[in-house]
Copies of this chain bind each other. A is one copy, B any other.
Amino acid sequence: MSQITTIDRVGQFVGQMVTIRGWLYNKRSSGKIRFLLIRDGTGIIQSVIVKNEVAPEVFSATDILTQESSLEVDATVRADARAPGGYELQVSDMRVIQVAEDYPISPKEHGPSFLLDNRHLWLRSSKQHAILRIRSHVIQEAQAYFNREGFILFDAPILTPTACEGTSTLFETDYFYGEKAYLSQSGQLYAEAGAMAFGKVYTLGPTFRAEKSKTRRHLTEFWMLEPEVAFAELEDILLLAEELVCHLVNSVLTYRSEELKVLDRDVTKLQSVVRPFPRITYDQALDILREKGISHHWGDDFGATEDTIISEQFDRPVMITHYPVQTKAFYMKGDPLKPNLALCVDVLAPEGYGEIIGGSQREDDYDKLVERLEQHNLPREAFEWYLDLRRYGSVPHSGFGLGIERTIGWICGIKHLRETIPFPRLLQRIYP
């Protein structure tokens, strides 16, 4: 039997016989020739079957092959500049594994509800395939980046006894002996304990919001990457965020250019993502909105509309700092010079893709943190452990959370987050 390989590696076997195992993506025929497009998860390749060059039963089997039928071919690899990947297969034998039933997803347009019902199959389509390969790449690159920079991966718990930022949007479950547990909205508070132990940590995991919002920018379950750094001030994590985002975009441009092509992504938009990112304060952002004729009440957070208008002024992500403290979470440190402003940052992706990063310097003063808990009506006893981090060797520290799906959506040029995760969880969607 010939060498079993995958489509992404056929270039190593030009002129040689290989075995490829995969699924029928498409087929067409022309007289005594059949052209099978085979996909195997690593790529798609055209496979040519000529009537007189294979056994009669092999040739006739091509007639019964339906889309997504599984099969194995023995074939010679030919370099062909006209072929999509640069190679083509000249088939000498074929074994059909299963003739698929009528495949529900055809090249014709389907509505999102139908496609989401068939998400387990929709994943095989070239666009979804490209998005999720980029997702995998971005997550692995982010981890490799943190690893190189001396960060420790520090998994935060999902089942938590309290809410990190209030209790309004939490999934609740019964724990044992009458206790309740809540699904984590952020690993940050735990990551802070990690930063005090390891200096630099990051968490990567699913987070949950039981928000009744039905927008293209919200999932009820989404992944967050949250670095937390001891002895870091706001400025330090601005630099970290900038460097991380540039690294991820650059890595996708370099290693996932084929996928960006499939997605028809305008790569010039990504190529302009270089340091330094523009930095504006909340007040300067208000000025921009005012110039655009939008009046915004000082002290209110920005919504999708404001984010879009602001981000459209720049060709790369913009970092907005110094929001009014009242718009932000209890744990953010106030600016010592202007205590009504938080030492925080939101990073907005360009082209209106919204907020991809939220971060801050954390309040490291015990008394001020107690005060903030009271102002936010948070139950102090649930945060005693968190206050301990300010009792025993408190240090300045900062961190941020990068939303994986928002980041993938932006890099891929996908407006709706439902396509940026294998099995999206939406307000009305928990199946499959």
Contacts and interface: CB of A to CB of B under 8 A. Distances in A.
B159 A212 contact: no
B393 A69 contact: yes
Contacts of A140: 143, 147, 153
Given A173-B172, A194-B422, A6 B199 contact: yes
Contact of A21 (B173, B231, B392): B231
Nearest to A144: B144
Interface in A390-404: 391-395
A20 to B, nearest CB: 10
A276 interface: no
A133 B200 CA distance: 12
Nearest to A230: B41
A421 interface: yes
Contacts of A172: 173-174
Interface string A305-343: 000000000000000000000000000000000000000
A109 B149 CA distance: 35
A205 interface: yes
A159 B430 CA distance: 7
A97 B230 CA distance: 12
A94 to B, nearest CB: 14
A422 B156 contact: yes
Q: Report, as a range, how many residues of chain A touch the other chain.
A: 35 or more
Contact of A153 (B121, B139, B171, B220): B139
Contacts of A159: 171, 208, 220-221, 425, 430
Interface stretch (A49-57, A84-92, A175-183, A280-288): A175-183
Contacts of A161: 430-432
A152 to B, nearest CB: 4
A123 B194 contact: yes
A120 interface: yes
Contacts of A394: 70, 97-98
A24 B196 CA distance: 12
Contacts of A173: 171-173, 183
Given A176-B212, A428-B177, A98 B199 contact: no
Nearest to A171: B173
Interface string A253-291: 000000000000000000000000000000000000000
B221 A8 contact: no
Interface string A117-140: 011110110001100110110011
A351 B147 CA distance: 31
A410 interface: no
Contacts of A174: 171-172
Contacts of A393: 23-24, 68-70, 97-98, 100
Interface string A65-99: 00011100000000000000000000000000110
Nearest to A421: B155
A153 B175 contact: no
Contact of A395 (B97, B136, B139, B157): B97
A181 to B, nearest CB: 6
A175 B430 contact: yes
B200 A41 contact: yes
A422 B150 CA distance: 18
A388 interface: yes
Contact of A120 (B198, B208, B385, B432): B385
12 contacts: A22-B199, A98-B394, A118-B385, A120-B193, A133-B198, A136-B154, A140-B147, A155-B223, A158-B208, A158-B221, A171-B173, A386-B432
Given A41-B199, A121-B392, 6 more contacts: A21-B231, A23-B196, A118-B385, A119-B385, A135-B155, A157-B425
